[in-house]
Amino acid sequence: MEIVITGSSGLIGSEAVEYFAERGHDIQGIDNNMRADFFGSQGDTSWRLAQLLSKVKRFTHHGLDIRNRTAVLQFFSNRRTGAVIHCAAQPSHDLAKDRPFDDFDVNAGGTLNLLEAARRHCPESPFIFMSTNKVYGDAPNELPLVELPTRWDYADPTYHEGIDERLRIDRSMHSLFGASKVAADVMVQEYGRYFGMPTVCFRGGCLTGPNHSGVELHGFLNFLVKTATAGRVFTIFGYKGKQVRDQIHSIDVVRAFEAFMAAPRAGEVYNLGGGRESNASILECFQMIEATSGRKVAWRYDDGNRAGDHICYISNISKFRSHYPEWSLTRRVDDMIDEMVRLEDQHGHRSAQQISTVARTVPFRSREVKAK
C-alpha cells in the first residue's frame, strides 16, 4: 500500500516512515523543513531527512508546501493513496502569536487542502490527523487541583485517569496555535461525518523520543534532556515546576495509527498520551534525569506562567483502548528519559544525526504497561 505522510522528517512523521516502510508499504513523504524556519538551526530536520533517504528503501521525499493548494491537489491526483498520515504543523503556541498567518495557514489551511485532496482522490482511505490537547485550551485548568510535594494533581477522583474527549473545546483561551488546531481538528471530524470518510483526530499529549529536534518552544522532554546532559541551564516557567505532562513515545503513537488503519472509523476523536501510567512534572523529570545520569540538573525559575499553559494535563486514553484493545503503551516516561540520557552520554553530545543513527540500537528498560 502507498501511504502519504506529511511532516515526514519530524518526530512522529519520520517514525511513521520507518515503521510502515519496514512493513512493506511504499511511503511518499511530504516535508519542506519549515521547522527550521520556525525554530532556527535547533529545529532543523534536514539531518533526519538525510538519514531516511540513506536507510529507507521504500521512501520518496517531496519538498511540498501543504499551503500550496494547487500543488497538493495535483500531488494526490497522480497516485493511488491507501492512507494519509498528517503530522505537518506549526507546533508552538508561543511562536503562533508572532507568526499568526503562518500558523493558521499551515495548521488550518494546509489541513483543509489535504482533506479536500483526499476527498477527491482517495475518499475511502484512512485519514489520520495528529491533533493536540491544546484544542481544549485552558479549560483543564478549571479542574480542582491539589498541590503535592513535587506535582499538581487532580483533586476530584473522577479525573484520576485524566481528561477525556468530553471536555469542551470552546469558551477557553487556547493560544493562537490552539485555535488553528481546533479549526483543523473540527474540519477533519466534519469530513468524516459529512462525507463519511474514515478520518480520525489524535489529540496528543506530549509526544517524545530520541528523534525529536526539541527546542525550548516545542519538544519539552527531548529539549530538557539535551539541555541537562549538556550542562546548560533549563528555565522553568511558572507553577513551581510542578506542572504535569503525560509523555508518550513516538513509536507508540505510530502503533496507534496502525491500529486505526486496520479498523478505521468515520469522524473519530481520541485523546492519545501516556495517561496515568506515564506522566511527570518538571521537578520529577529532573529527578529521573539525575538518577539516570548521576549529575544534577542546572535550572532557573521564571515566575511568569505561560498564557494558556496547562497546570496538570493527563490524557484519559480509555476510549481508544476500548476501541482498539490490542494497542498498549510499551514505554513509560522513565524509560524515555533513560533512553535519551544514555544516548546523549554514550555519544558525547554529538550531532542529532549521529545520535539518531544509533537511537534504535540502544536498549531500554522496556515493559508493557497495561490499563488498570
Place of cell 546523549: 344
Instruction: Give Cα 357 to chain centroid, integer Å.
Output: 21
The stretch 296-323 carries a mean pLDDT of 90
2 neighbors 23 (Cβ within 8 angstroms): no
Residue 138 has which C-alpha cell? 485552558
Integer Cα distance of 288 and 40 in angstroms: 29
Q: Does the pLDDT value for residue 102 go beyond 60?
A: yes
Tens of pLDDT, residues 81-100: 999 999 999 988 889 999 99
Among 11-25, 119-133, 249-263, 297-311, the minimum mean pLDDT is found in: 297-311
300 neighbors 325 (Cβ within 8 angstroms): no
Q: What is the mean pLDDT of the chain?
A: 90
Tens of pLDDT, residues 55-80: 999 999 999 999 999 999 999 998 99
Integer Cα distance of 76 and 72 in angstroms: 6
258 neighbors 215 (Cβ within 8 angstroms): no
In this structure, the number of other CB atoms found within 10 A of the CB of residue 10 comes to: 31
8 neighbors 17 (Cβ within 8 angstroms): yes
The stretch 304-331 carries a mean pLDDT of 92
- Write down the pTM of the prediction: 0.89
Instruction: Give Cα 181 to chain centroid, integer Å.
Output: 13
pLDDT band at 350 (very low <50, low <70, confident <90, very high): very low
Among 22-26, 160-164, 338-342, 364-368, the minimum mean pLDDT is found in: 364-368
346 or 161, higher pLDDT: 161
Q: What pLDDT, on the 0 to 100 scale, is given for residue 354?
A: 39
244 neighbors 152 (Cβ within 8 angstroms): yes
39: Cβ contacts below 8 Å, ≥ 6 apart: 92, 95, 213, 215, 217, 218
Query: Element (H or E) spanning 287, and its range?
Result: helix 282-293
Query: Element (H or E) spanning 27, and its range?
Result: strand 26-30
107 neighbors 181 (Cβ within 8 angstroms): yes
pLDDT band at 188 (very low <50, low <70, confident <90, very high): very high
Amino acid at residue number 348: G
Residue 143 has which C-alpha cell? 479542574
Residue 255 has which C-alpha cell? 502503533
Integer Cα distance of 281 and 257 in angstroms: 27
Q: Does the pLDDT value for residue 39 go beyond 50?
A: yes
Q: Does the pLDDT value for residue 29 go beyond 90?
A: yes
pLDDT band at 286 (very low <50, low <70, confident <90, very high): very high
Nearest one of 185, 178, 82, 168 to 129, comparing CA atoms: 185
Residue 126 has which C-alpha cell? 484512512
Q: Structural domains in the chain?
A: 2-357 (3.40.50.720)
